[in-house]
Structure formats: C-alpha cells, structure tokens
Structure 1
C-alpha cells in the first residue's frame, strides 16, 4: 500500500534522513507482522507498521516500543456493491460483508464501526476474501466490503457506493470520534536508551517528510516514489489519490496522538484481540518526543 510508505520514501529520496546524519535503507516486508518479526529478530533496527500490527505483536510478547507516528487514519473505506440495497451501517445486519481475513485490521475496524453505529456485529456475516475482495464486491457476491484505494475509486466508477470513508478526516471524526492511529515506528525496547538521539533524528526527518506531503503538489509527491514501486500502475490515478487524501491521512508532526492510539486499542478490545484491562500506554514511549493530545 503506497499510501503507507510515502513519508518514508519521501524522507529517504528528498534527503531528509541524510540531513539528520542518518544512513537509512528501507527494507520492505510482507505486512506489519513480518516487519515486526524482522525487528524482534534483529534483521532491522526499526519497524514502521500500523498500530494494529504493533499491538498484536506486543500482546504476543514482542519487546518493542513505539515512539513516533506518521499516519492518523486507517487506509480503509466501507463500500456497497453495485446494485446493493445497503445504504448505511445498520443495513448490514443480516447481510454478507467482505473482509481480508478475520482478525485483520479491516475486520476489527468494521466491528468497531458497527458498534459505534448501534448495529450488532454478530448479525453480520463476514466473508474472508483476501486479495479477491475487490472483484467479489464488484461482481455483487457480497453486499458490501472493506476496501482501500484505488479499489474504492474503481468500485465507485463501476456503480458501487461509498458508505464510510475512514481515509477522510471529517468522516473519521463522525464515525470513530477522531483520528485513529495508523502508521508509526517501533524500536527494540532494550535499545531505547542507546538509540535515543538516533530515534529523535529519525523522527525529525520523518516530520520534514510529513510537512512536504502537505505542502507539495501531488505530481511532485508521486514522482518522489521509485519507479519500481509503481511499475504497471496507473500513475494518473495514483496522483489523484495522493491529492485527495494527503492532508487527511498524514499529520504535520510525528508526536503520538494518545487519544487516536486509544481508539485503536479500544477497537481491538471490542474485537476480543486484547484483554479489557489493556492499556495502550504500555506499548507507547511518549517521552522520546512528547505526546500530542
């Protein structure tokens, strides 16, 4: 998902890491769980993942600390299939909704959305469709589904309907109560003190990248990405997606928004993935940079 990695690629390719005296290599993993396995196994020095992934790794015993944030919204929207009668969250009761997998971020978020809207998640059927979700939704095999971009745009062009777009800050405030912590950086807990100045330098570089994402035009941002990452894709559509979401998805600073992080933990508690007594502060290091909110 290119929208996840934009701040990191921008910081590297525009020289912001170098300005802070850092030599950085970006190593791509197959998802947040693998990235955190790399971190715990000492294959990398830091791991940039969603907070959802970090929470699960931490709950399973990973000795990690999360110290900065580069994303304040989840990269998901709930959309109805073409010709589906579904018009809102309450309409999903008794219907089948496509998700990537049970327990994944999109499933957890959907359950959280349903409960916030007063709908009963137990009355919804969940179809685990993995990478086939978009095609199944477009064909009407499910009534609705949790999608990302560019699938959301493509689905709307095919006659589908956007129900809730959590990549939109106004909608996130309306449906979730505010920002919902997403991408950020973790370090091995035992190395925190020895890496403290490096962590602050890394954070300063990423903050420069976030400000660039707010200030630059979408074409310049897209051109910052290495061609290998967008090979075979629709570059014009990518630029449109960046322009649509960049000021909502990315904060202008890297300090962790504690309330946004608490919403993610609350969603995992409600989905049964974390115990009711869990406190997200145990994973977060708010003293490296200070907390926002």
Structure 2
C-alpha cells in the first residue's frame, strides 16, 4: 500500500512541476505575413534569414509573398493582406502625401543603393556617360525609384533625359528586358540577375552601375502601418533582430557562401550567376550592414524624388522613420 502511495505521489510531482515547465519552454510562434515588391538577389539578406533559420530562432513563422510592383505591395499592406512590406521608401511618402491617418513607417533598411545597371547593346571599351547623348535609352517605369535614380544620375553627368536622348518609359517592368533583347534601345537600365545573364549570353554589356553613381539611399526597406507596430511590438523587434543577424552574416561571408545559402530561393538561376550578382552587390555596398535608416539617406531619397518631379511633399524623417527597434537590436 505504501508503495502505491509513493507511485501516486511521484506522478503527482510530474504533473505539478515537469509538464508546466515543458509548456513554458515551448516557444510561442508568431505568424508574420511579408509582401516583397519583387523576388530578387538584391534582397539576399532576407533570404539568408529564411534559409539559415534566423526568423525561426526568434519564434517567427514568416509567410513571404511576392506582390510584383510597389503599388500592389502597398495595397497589400494597407488592406491588411500583409503585416510587413519590403518595398521602396518612396511608397511611404506617397501614402503620407495622401493624408493617411495610419501612416506607413519605415523601421528596418535592407538595401542602401540603387540595384540597377546600365547595359549597352554594343561592347564599349572606354565608357563615358556622354555616349548616351543621341541614343535610345530604355528606362524604368515612371514614378518608381529605378526611374528616378536613373534620371538623377543622367542629370548628374550633364544629360537632360528629355532633350539629350530618346527616353522610353512606357514599357512595363516585366517586359523591359524582353524589349531590349528584341532590339529596342541602345542602352537599358536593368536589375540583376538579368544584366549578368544578358552579358553571359552576349545580348548586352554592363558598362556602369546606377547604385554606385547615386550614393546611399533607403532603396528598399521593411515597413508596417503605425497601428501594427504599436500593437505588435514583440513581432517587429523579433523580425528586425533576425534581419540584423542576416546582415551581419552576409557582411562576414563570401559571395560564394551567400549564393549557396540562398540558391533554394532561385532554383532556376545558375549558382555561378547568383554568386556573380551577390559579389557585384556586395562590392558596391548595396546590402545595408545594419537595419538603421539614417537621416542623410532619407534626405538624399527626397532630393532624388524632387529632381525627378515626383515628390508630392517633403516628409519629415521622424514622421515616417522609426529607428528605435533597429538601434535596440544593434
């Protein structure tokens, strides 16, 4: 009888102490829906965070959706279809200018330069920007950051986009590369890996980088509605910490190592091309090394928008940028 009492007491202890302890140790998983403006090697640190399990380590389950275009990405965010958007910072300014009572806040920076390259149809040994004068230039969609940066760089080199060349801007983003491949334009502004693929196939030659020429800007950032950030502080902090871990990892590893990690995200792209693209972006400092968006970059962005005639009104840095979380995780 005494033995039976001891056994019952033993199992009672297990019930009281061990089972609740196991429940406490089980990390709560937070679901976060992220809409990215496009799926690009330009966003390598985000994919490193996914593939290396940095989000999972923070107790996050990230549902990533490609929304193909700044307008669609912002619509997903504003409608609640996404919790966080990865898109150009200019979109938050457009929303702010429309008088939103729940502004979109930039809280973590991913890329800090333009990601496009100038591709020439013909091989040029000694390129100079003056060679674009009188040419047909196939540019990016009007109102987007690539187009604004493109025009900013042209003007920087004394080229008036409206009078010094034939500027084509009425081609949809998805059709720009095919249009150039079919014979439209002497020069084209392209993202990677298309630019490197064209060079490998002999369809074009990379002659300059818009990212190098334009300087640092908050080209692509993670943003969320102000209300979401207030109501989900823990999720935002965990998300930002995972991104920062990935940024540190990318900074300290080779292009080859990064390419191998993110290859599952780009199954149809050769590993060698991925490595070339990562190396190109790393070399020109496109990947932000921490998530803090500083005020100088913010002002440079608005100056570029203003010179392109696309800035509806200037937005104060502290109004649309929150660096509290980014600084905390650093």
TM band (smaller chain):
0.7 to 0.9
Is the aligned partner of 1:28 residue 2:66?
yes
Structure 2's unaligned 5+ residue stretches are 1-38
Is the aligned partner of 1:223 residue 2:260?
yes
Question: How far off is 1:135 after superposition?
Answer: 4.2
Partner of 2:310: 273
| Cα distance in 1 between the residues matched to 2:288 and 2:125 | 36
Is the aligned partner of 1:283 residue 2:320?
yes
Other structure's SS at 1:249 match: coil
Structure 1's unaligned 5+ residue stretches are none
Is the aligned partner of 1:236 residue 2:272?
yes
Other structure's SS at 1:200 match: helix
Question: How far off is 1:90 after superposition?
Answer: 3.4
| Cα distance in 2 between the residues matched to 1:100 and 1:65 | 26
| Backbone CA RMSD of aligned residues | 2.8
Partner of 1:145: 188
Is the aligned partner of 1:81 residue 2:121?
yes
Asked whether the equivalents of residues 55 and 265 of structure 1 are also in contact (C-alpha less than 8 Å), the reply is no
| Cα distance in 1 between the residues matched to 2:309 and 2:276 | 37
Question: How far off is 1:207 after superposition?
Answer: 0.5
Would the alpha carbon gap of residues 253 and 278 (structure 1) be closer, same or farther in structure 2, given more than 3 Å must change?
Answer: closer
| Cα distance in 1 between the residues matched to 2:293 and 2:133 | 35
Question: How far off is 1:146 after superposition?
Answer: 0.6
Asked whether the equivalents of residues 76 and 146 of structure 1 are also in contact (C-alpha less than 8 Å), the reply is yes
| Cα distance in 2 between the residues matched to 1:21 and 1:194 | 17
Partner of 1:213: 250
Other structure's SS at 1:213 match: helix
> How many residue pairs get matched?
283
Is the aligned partner of 1:263 residue 2:300?
yes
| Cα distance in 2 between the residues matched to 1:257 and 1:90 | 33
TM-score (structure 1 length as normaliser) = 0.84
Asked whether the equivalents of residues 49 and 185 of structure 1 are also in contact (C-alpha less than 8 Å), the reply is yes
| Cα distance in 2 between the residues matched to 1:185 and 1:97 | 31
